[in-house]
Amino acid sequence: MSTDTTTLPVGRYAYDQVDRTFLSQRVAQFREQVARRVAGDLSEDEFKPLRLMNGLYLQLHAYMLRVAVPYGMMGSDQMRALAHIARTYDRDYGHFTTRQNMQFNWIRLEDTPDILELLARVDMHAIQTSGNCIRNVTCDEFAGAAADELLDPRIHAEILRQWSTLHPEFSFLPRKFKIAISGSPHDRVAARFHDIGLVARPGPQGRPVFDVFVGGGLGRTPIIGVKLRDNLPEEDLVAYLEAIVRVYNAYGRRDNMYKARIKILVQALGVEAFREKVDAEFALMNRADYRLDPAIVAGIRARFGIPPLEAPADADRTLAAARRTDPAFDRWVRTNTHPHRHEGFICAVISVKPDGGIPGDITADQMDLVADLADSHSFGEIRVTHMQNVVLGHVRKDQLHELWQKLVAARLATPNIGLVGDIIACPGLDYCALANARSIPIAQKLSARFANPELQERIGPLNINISGCINACGHHHAGHIGILGVDKRGQEFFQLTLGGSAGGDVAIGQILGPALPEDETVDAIARLIDTYLVLRHDNEQFLDTYRRLGAASFKDAVYAPA
């Protein structure tokens, strides 16, 4: 087995023959399941969980395929395969989701086995991107690169991906189950809005330990996860998660799908009783069977390609000089980059949210371009963010200006990361069978309204999150400003929530007042933001102003226009 990590694909786990055999068997299995469905041997009811476990939904107009991008990491070869699928089987588009996956909205059932086969050729799949199983594990988009990172969470994310793949006991849970993992003190994964959120850091002797949060989630009952355990040793990670999911499988409600998530169980039992059950299960387990041996972790780690980070000593100065001469570039560096652990490198965020565009939508040609740029500027490695953007993780500082120029030419250089234009939106009524309202047009109108980059920067950090229904796929509860589509006698209305946050200062947004008609929503939000600009202390962020003043100060602006 090769342990020369410099020849492996950078950033993601490299498949070997065993992993590839598994994938091709899995494709063959799905092909056979589709054939049984077409022949009528499987009813739609029986087929549904099987197709869902391969990422295939039935939506408003067509099937939708959600392709897994495990913990958001992929290679340029994989991105090109996605571009090819978009061109051949969809309408030239793909859509990045908040769980770091890619979604195609116009897929034919009959084509799906072929698509899965194409994916398998580049070591990709759609396994467990939907269904009542442990979903694709998400992690920090700057993992392995960020200056503030304590521990690279991808290794454990991959271990959890493998552990949960066709897990015999947990493939028919009461409901979907989502796990996120972070290795940074700055929570960039919304750990407390997940069924299980893991926060990793080095413990005694540098060995990883985990804080385990459980029972968070959005949906119609938004709940902030509670800490179940501190300092879980690495070797018990799999055992402890088995114990949690086992308790959930045994006791989670199955009579009402809206009450089937683990958050409801944790609330119903109370944290203490829930913890007791998990601890009892954990104590009974034969820990040796589930022990995550250091050798196992080392074996997985060795399958991750490591970028050879070498930059000229003056890379930093070259970048500084370019910033001085080019104000537009300077602005983009301010908004769209993140500090790298290596002083000669930087993480670049490619905004997939052009002014007036559809958040997260990317064309086949843009995918190919991103793949090319990843090859030329980031060791062939690409990351998808839970904000529906793309990251090139390791860009040499002296080459950043050149990268930016290429992005500008491709309309991929919008300087809006973390700002008003960086809107999260679900597919809404344009695609989703469950929607009450269209999320996308609101997102487009808002981003067009605030297109001016100077204005955006002046407004400062502000997350606007939009969901087309109470299921909360667009995370509206976690947005500083949340927008929820509701249906009132066949008319689209939008309810505003304020003060939510998915970060370390986690909070659920509060409903401001009655829902607004569609044609008043954007104006009302603009007035809300104007009011904030008037009320804030210098440079105070929206969230802080809101927390200082409360909702009342904003109500008039929204409901009683001057």
Least separation in angstroms between CB 184 and ligand HEM: 20
Residue 289 contact among ligand HEM, ligand SF4, other proteins, none, beta carbon within 5 to 8 Å by kind: other proteins
Among 2, 3, 35, 46, binds other proteins (CB under 8 A): 46
Among 12, 26, 99, 527, binds ligand HEM (CB under 6 A): 99
CA proximity to 191, closest of 221, 161, 215, 163: 215
Among 421, 474, 479, 499, binds ligand SF4 (CB under 6 A): 474
What type of residue sits at position 325?
Answer: T
Which CB sits closer to ligand SF4, 124 or 432? 432
Among 11, 94, 131, 217, binds ligand HEM (CB under 6 A): 217
CA proximity to 496, closest of 475, 507, 478, 510: 510
Angle (deg, nearest 10), helices 400-409 and 327-336: 100
Least separation in angstroms between CB 150 and other proteins: 23
Residues 35-64 binding ligand HEM (CB under 6 A) are: 57, 59, 64
8 Å CB contact between 122 and 14? no
Which CB sits closer to other proteins, 134 or 512? 134
446-449 CB contacts, 8 Å cutoff, 24+ apart: 446/420, 446/522, 446/525, 447/353, 447/354, 447/355, 447/356, 447/357, 447/359, 447/416, 447/420, 447/421, 447/423, 448/355, 448/356, 449/522, 449/526
532-537 CB contacts, 8 Å cutoff, 24+ apart: 532/459, 533/458, 533/459
> Which H or E run includes 46?
helix 44-52
Which CB sits closer to ligand SF4, 415 or 482? 482
Residue 54 contact among ligand HEM, ligand SF4, other proteins, none, beta carbon within 5 to 8 Å by kind: none
Among 210, 431, 450, 493, binds ligand HEM (CB under 6 A): 431
As a whole number of angstroms, the distance between CA 147 and CA 68 comes to 27
Residues 255-294 binding ligand HEM (CB under 6 A) are: 261
Among 73, 86, 180, 238, binds other proteins (CB under 8 A): 238
8 Å CB contact between 351 and 416? yes
Least separation in angstroms between CB 242 and other proteins: 9
What type of residue sits at position 358?
Answer: I
- What is the contact mask toward ligand SF4 in residues 403 to 432, using x (rule: CB under 6 A)? -----------------------xxx---x
Residues in Cβ contact with 530 at an 8 Å cutoff, skipping those fewer than 6 apart = 557
DSSP 540: -
Tokens of 117: 């086969």
Least separation in angstroms between CB 541 and ligand HEM: 24
* Shortest-Cβ-distance residue relative to ligand HEM: 219
Q: Which stretch binds other proteins (CB under 8 A): 41-49, 313-321, 332-340, 482-490?
A: 41-49
As a whole number of angstroms, the distance between CA 422 and CA 430 comes to 20
Which CB sits closer to ligand HEM, 217 or 344? 217
Tokens of 374: 């990843």
CA proximity to 240, closest of 198, 268, 189, 184: 198
Among 473, 481, 484, 498, binds ligand HEM (CB under 6 A): 473
Which CB sits closer to ligand SF4, 129 or 184? 129
What are the φ and ψ backbone dihedral angles of 56, each rounded to 5 degrees? -105, 115
As a whole number of angstroms, the distance between CA 261 and CA 253 comes to 8
What are the φ and ψ backbone dihedral angles of 382, each rounded to 5 degrees? -135, 145
8 Å CB contact between 214 and 223? no
Among 54, 78, 97, 545, binds ligand HEM (CB under 6 A): 97
Least separation in angstroms between CB 60 and ligand HEM: 8
What type of residue sits at position 132?
Answer: N
Which CB sits closer to other proteins, 33 or 184? 33
Among 18, 534, 552, 560, binds other proteins (CB under 8 A): 18
- What is the contact mask toward ligand SF4 in residues 13 to 52, using x (rule: CB under 6 A)? ----------------------------------------
Residues in Cβ contact with 143 at an 8 Å cutoff, skipping those fewer than 6 apart = 71, 73, 149, 152, 153, 154, 157, 183, 383
Number of residues lying near ligand HEM (CB under 6 A): 22
Which CB sits closer to ligand HEM, 81 or 432? 432
**Helical spans, DSSP H, in 207-314:** 237-251, 262-269, 271-284, 287-290, 294-301
Residues 264-303 binding other proteins (CB under 8 A) are: 284-286, 289-290, 296, 299-300, 303
Residues in Cβ contact with 268 at an 8 Å cutoff, skipping those fewer than 6 apart = none
Q: Is residue 218 a contact point for ligand SF4 (CB under 6 A)?
A: no
Least separation in angstroms between CB 501 and ligand SF4: 19
By the criterion CB under 8 A, which residues form the site for other proteins?
1, 16, 18, 21-22, 25-26, 28-29, 32-33, 36, 41, 46, 49-50, 132, 159, 162-173, 238, 246, 249-250, 254, 284-286, 289-290, 296, 299-300, 303
